[in-house]
Amino acid sequence: MKKQSTIFEALPDKELNKILQEFFVSVCTKAGNPYSKSEMVNIRSGTCVSPFNHTINLMQDAAFQQSNSAFKGTLHLKKQAGHDVSHAKSAISPEDLELLREEGFASWKRCPYTLQKKVWFNILYHIGKRAQEGVHKYQKDSFGLGKTVAGKKYIFQKFNQVSKCSQGDESSASKCQKIDTEYLMFEIGDDMCPFAYFCLYLNKLNEDLDALWQCPNLYCRKPESMRWYDKQKIREHTMCKWMMELSVQCGLSQKYTNHCIRKTCTTAMAKSGFQPHQIVSITKH
């Protein structure tokens, strides 16, 4: 596609329509590969979030009929070529889970980064939540510590963050919803104990910040230090890359995404005999 003017709001409708028509037909990745159907839909939606101040509608105005026809034709061709097939995320293999325990989380008692990612992984794995559905909004009081009648300690979720599948109380300032007590992680008494991970993490957080996910202190080198994290919240886009980073660091068989942790959770429950409706009641999806 030839280089075009980027001052789109100054272009006449006829010229803009021609540019969009050429764009939808020729757009591809940097590697020259075609986009999938869902990616094309997202790209088209992005073109409507424009600098036009809602004076024109790129999807519905008659002036853009040709470019919209080109878009629909492109989708039809992608369907014929098999580019409209969605690919489900794979569960983390047992071998890779073992590598994570041995390589990824072995230094959790002395490293702020390792401890944080292990706590994050445990929470996603035990509650089966999508990694981008409100997890970054968790506060210190989103979880509580409890004890069974038999004296066994556990961690439970007190608040359910807002997600597209499980909406919280929109009227509340923190956008979270109180839920019934759910056992999440029990104390098991070994070096991989999720309860021990979580308790240590809470003790090392910065007391001046309520967020559960805080930036690790770059200068923390001693395990006995009281504060391992700074008064700065980790951004959502940073957390979105964590599982991919762990995959590379630990030499896993493939690059897993955060969503693969959820798939691993549901797969483990299905193998353990949980029925579909029981899995849905836990994952809320």
- Domains in the chain with CATH codes: 8-81 (no CATH), 94-283 (1.10.443)
Q: For residue 168, how many other CB atoms are within 10 A of its CB?
A: 19
Q: Which long-range contacts (CB under 8 A, 24 or more apart) does 159-164 make?
A: 160/284, 161/133, 161/134, 161/135, 161/137, 162/134, 162/137, 163/129, 163/130, 163/133, 163/134, 163/284, 164/133
Closest CA to 254 of 24, 85, 99: 99
Beta-carbon contacts of residue 53 (< 8 Å; ≥ 6 apart)? 9
What are the pLDDT digits (tens) for 217-227? Answer: 877 766 666 78
What are the pLDDT digits (tens) for 10-68? Answer: 778 888 888 888 888 888 888 888 887 777 887 787 776 555 555 677 788 888 888 88
* CA distance linking residue 141 with residue 131, whole number of Å: 19
Determine the pLDDT at residue 167: 47
To 10 degrees, the CA torsion angle through 219, 221, 223, 229?
A: 20
More confident: 162 or 79 = 79
Determine the pLDDT at residue 88: 61
Closest CA to 135 of 147, 144, 122: 122
Q: How confident is the model at residue 159 (pLDDT cuts 50, 70, 90)?
A: low
Closest CA to 15 of 31, 29, 4: 4
Determine if residue 183 is left, alpha or beta; phi over 0 gives left, psi from -120 to 50 gives alpha, anything else beta. Answer: beta
- State the average pLDDT for the chain: 78
- Region 108-133: what's the mean pLDDT? 79
E strand or H helix at 147, and its extent?
strand 143-147
Whole-model pTM: value is 0.64
Determine the pLDDT at residue 148: 87
Let me know how long the chain is: 285
Beta strand pairing status for 176-178 and 153-157? Answer: unpaired
